[in-house]
Amino acid sequence: MEHQPKKKATIYDLSVLSGSSPSTVSAVLNGTWRKRRIKETTAELIRDLADQHQYTANLQARGLRSSRSGLVGLLLPVHDNRYFSSMAQSFEAHVRSRGQCPIVVSACRDPEEERRTVETLISYSVDELIVAGATDPDGVHAVCIGSGLKHVNIDLPGSKAPSVISDNYQGARMLTEAIIRHFSDDLKLGPDELYLFGGRDDHASRERIRGFRAIKRELMQGDSDKCIEPTGYSPNMAQIAFERFYEREGKLPRGLFINSSINFEGLLRFMAQHPNEAFMDIVVGCYDYDPFGSFLPFPVIMIRQDIEGMITKAFEIMAENRPSVQTYLIQPELVPPRTALKGPLDAIKDIA
Amino acid sequence: MEHQPKKKATIYDLSVLSGSSPSTVSAVLNGTWRKRRIKETTAELIRDLADQHQYTANLQARGLRSSRSGLVGLLLPVHDNRYFSSMAQSFEAHVRSRGQCPIVVSACRDPEEERRTVETLISYSVDELIVAGATDPDGVHAVCIGSGLKHVNIDLPGSKAPSVISDNYQGARMLTEAIIRHFSDDLKLGPDELYLFGGRDDHASRERIRGFRAIKRELMQGDSDKCIEPTGYSPNMAQIAFERFYEREGKLPRGLFINSSINFEGLLRFMAQHPNEAFMDIVVGCYDYDPFGSFLPFPVIMIRQDIEGMITKAFEIMAENRPSVQTYLIQPELVPPRTALKGPLDAIKDIA
DNA sequence: CATTTTTGCACAATCGATGGTGCAATGAAT
DNA sequence: ATTCATTGCACCATCGATTGTGCAAAAATG
């Protein structure tokens, strides 16, 4: 399988071949040659040799010397849901358009793993980092400043670095209101028929809960802690919560605010265990959009966070030289049931 | 925001602090110190200093010297669907468990981008590479051997490197048969009511089409090219295909074999444009599993490829020193409608 | 023609870690 | 006491690129 594991050409090889010094070769190939007053013809010669020999710079060496790498990192909690995978997709497009190399890693919502992973990225002299949905953004921050790595939080805010997040309060208000209004007057939802499931004790969950409760108070004069069931971000815990509720009450609440599409998968698991009748009259509001989720057999209203907007803003902030530590809110969007939105994949040309 | 951008400690710093030589420090910190007969007490001293000063090795320097990086790459076509995001998730778990650092990048199904991206990875001395669903696996291969990078194709096979793929033929047979059998005898599906949509001219599509046709011939004595509509891997093209069909025939075929969940999103877009009646009697078989897709208002049978199995096999192959260039088939699994399978996220502990 | 300026490039240090080699000090064996 | 083996470590070249500096040759200036 390995044919010619011939070593890659280096500037030294080209230096010999061209008869000029390594530094000249280097300058020519990295674009600084005009500044160094290299003759056009010399440059041309070297460039020719370079692509004759398929020269590509050793980026580790370059990075070592210049302590920059051309890498831009995105730290995700997990890959496997449409919210974060869309984020990865948008992120890649952004980074590539700036001529850098995107690298995406996940840290499984584990604070320890988050820090370790960032340490590793730093060891590769990653130039910039977007920290998405970190469980411990400030812990990550501490690691970052230790080495002066520019970074911005996204999705979940930290208190020490600039953050770009959805307006979760507003989003939750919109979503909750939409759920309530989705019921016609004769089937009007009662305050204790509207529950929030999922999430945990993070900023996003808290804000969403706050929004949920605010609207509930405003529109239905009812609100109580028992209508809130945090389950963490796992399908399994959410499923258990639904099962418990069902056992207790003999049915699901008619109005369901689900705090993330991951938790929504818990509802799927519940559904798999129960006949359709168990949830034919429910209306679900889900924070985070999933195209397939939007077309389930009952009305599913979703919130789509403006991922593009957040990423764009994050890069703007990183471009500033002394970004202020503040949290920028990006407005999310309400998605009515049965809606197939375009996503980052649509930007990709497909050669059929 | 930047507090103490104090330089990171190096082995030289520790060398001064400890009074031993850089090489000793290096040996102690990278584990080769026993081999070098460093005294236990010296080692201890250095280790203490190291974590007092939060030393972490500069991996670019290490990589430069040793021409290995500890990085393992996964090249994806796209991030944004559950098949590939699950793959990323499994991949990360695998690589981490081996103490290396996973990095995931996508190349948008663009052969040129694929090669460029791999070039970049190589410049960082990535140790191993999994090439998933590449449009031009052999092109990538050419780049890889140029530098002796171990790599394995996954999902789509190449002719020059070992490949691990789903048994798409069998999978398509199972899926097609399941679609047909899902109709009761009185509503039996006719040969021209069963269509395949999506995919393009790649190995997976061809095999699936072959399986589809084989079963169609076997079970319904019918088969024709007009029942195959390749649309490329884009939601948009698929939608157009569905619309066209609908305009032409006044309805969708009752039996739909959809070649990828990405194409399935095209059906969602179609659905958004049409009342539910337009597809209340259809049965969809989709190659690739999406948990939400499984619960749509009509029966959706799915194929789940054994991602874990493929990744595991791929790493096994890469561990061999002279892997033979062959294609390994991994059996996929048929998923009945309304099924919520566990996925890689379930492996993640969630602190509620 | 002498001097200054500009052009074109080579030299060498450097980034941080690795690993082969060599050598002094210690302990064991004769 | 001498010889030999072992222990414990320092030295130094090296990986491939970047970059500040210096200097000869060519061109411009007077």
Q: Which of A99-108, A288-297, B3-12, B328-337 is predicted with the least confidence, judged by mean pLDDT?
A: B3-12
- Mark the nucleotides of strand C covered by protein, meaning any atom under 7 Å from a CB: 7-12, 14-21
Q: What is the pLDDT of residues B56-112, one digit of tens each?
A: 999 999 999 998 888 999 999 999 999 999 999 999 999 999 888 899 999 999 999
Sequence letter at residue B222: G
Does the beta-carbon distance from B56 to A268 stay under 8 Å? Answer: no
Looking at the DSSP bridge assignments, the partners of residue A101 are A71
Q: In which band, very low, low, confident or very high, does the pLDDT at B6 lie, cut at 50, 70 and 90?
A: low
Q: What are phi and psi of B2, to 5 degrees?
A: -75, 120
Q: Which of A35-49, A304-318, B122-136, B224-238 is predicted with the least confidence, judged by mean pLDDT?
A: B224-238
Give CA–CA dist B102/B100, Å, rounded.
Answer: 6
- Secondary structure (DSSP) of B148-167: T-EEEEESS--SSS-EEEE-
Q: What is the pLDDT of residues B176-200, one digit of tens each?
A: 999 999 998 888 998 899 999 999 9
**Could you tell me the distance in Å between the CA of residue B64 and the C1' of nucleotide D18?**
15
Closest nucleotide to B21: CA versus each C1':
D10
What is the three-class DSSP state of B197?
strand
Q: What is the pLDDT of residue A3?
A: 45
Closest nucleotide to A40: CA versus each C1':
C8
Q: What is the pLDDT of residue A6?
A: 63
The yes-or-no verdict on residue B280 having pLDDT over 90 is no
Residue partners of B326: CB distance under 8 A and separation at least 6: B162, B163
The shortest C-alpha distance from B89 to chain A (Å) reads: 6
Q: What is the mean pLDDT of residues B272-287?
A: 91
Across chain B, which distance is largest between two alpha carbons, in Å?
88
Does the beta-carbon distance from B296 to A294 stay under 8 Å? Answer: no
**Could you tell me the distance in Å between the CA of residue B26 and the C1' of nucleotide C30?**
39
Residue partners of A172: CB distance under 8 A and separation at least 6: A207, A208, A209, A210, A211, A212, A215, A257, A287, A303
Are A316 and A301 in contact, with CB atoms under 8 Å apart?
no
Q: In terms of C-beta density within 10 A (0-12 exposed, 13-18 middle, 19 or more buried), how is residue B256 classed?
A: buried
Q: What is the pLDDT of residue B2?
A: 42
Which residue of chain B is at minimal alpha-carbon distance from A324? B1
Q: What is the pLDDT of residue B277?
A: 84
Does the beta-carbon distance from A80 to B82 stay under 8 Å? Answer: yes
**Could you tell me the distance in Å between the CA of residue A64 and the C1' of nucleotide C14?**
10
Smallest Cβ distance to A272: which of B237, B293, B340? B340
Which of the pair, B332 or B124, is modelled with greater confidence? B332
The yes-or-no verdict on residue B216 having pLDDT over 50 is yes
CB pairs under 8 A between A and B: 267
Does the beta-carbon distance from B145 to A5 stay under 8 Å? Answer: yes
Residue A278: CB atoms within 10 A of its CB come to 16
Which residue of chain B is at minimal alpha-carbon distance from A75? B103
CA angle A52, A54, A59 (to 5 degrees): 145
Give CA–CA dist B352/A199, Å, rounded.
Answer: 8
Half-sphere exposure of B151 (CA within 13 A, CB side): 33
Q: What is the pLDDT of residue B3?
A: 45
Give CA–CA dist B109/B165, Å, rounded.
Answer: 17
Sheet holding A300-304, edge to edge: A228-229, A194-197, A255-258, A283-287, A300-304, A333-335
**Could you tell me the distance in Å between the CA of residue A59 and the C1' of nucleotide D16?**
9
Looking at the DSSP bridge assignments, the partners of residue A255 are A194, A283
Whole-structure pTM value: 0.92
The shortest C-alpha distance from A129 to chain B (Å) reads: 14
Give CA–CA dist B121/B149, Å, rounded.
Answer: 10
Does the beta-carbon distance from A350 to B233 stay under 8 Å? Answer: yes
Which residue of chain B is at minimal alpha-carbon distance from A113? B96
User: Beta B300-304 vs B333-335: how paired, if at all?
Assistant: antiparallel
The shortest C-alpha distance from A37 to chain B (Å) reads: 28
Q: What is the pLDDT of residue A351?
A: 56
The yes-or-no verdict on residue B5 having pLDDT over 90 is no
- Which chain B residues contact residue A102 at CB under 8 A? 105
Q: What is the pLDDT along chain A (352 residues), one digit of tens a residue?
A: 444 556 789 999 999 999 999 999 999 999 999 999 999 999 999 999 999 999 999 999 999 999 888 899 999 999 999 999 999 999 999 999 988 889 999 999 999 999 999 999 999 889 999 999 999 999 999 999 888 899 999 999 999 999 999 999 999 999 999 999 999 888 899 889 999 999 999 999 999 999 999 999 999 887 777 899 999 999 999 999 999 999 999 999 999 999 999 999 999 999 999 988 888 899 999 999 999 999 999 999 999 999 999 999 999 999 998 899 999 999 999 999 999 999 999 988 765 4
Are B74 and B88 in contact, with CB atoms under 8 Å apart?
yes
Residues with CB under 7 A from strand C: A 19-24, 36-39, 42, 61, 64-65, 67; B 7-8, 10-12, 22-23, 26-27, 29-30, 32, 36, 55, 57-58, 61-62, 64-66
Q: To the nearest whole number, what is the mean pLDDT of chain B?
A: 93
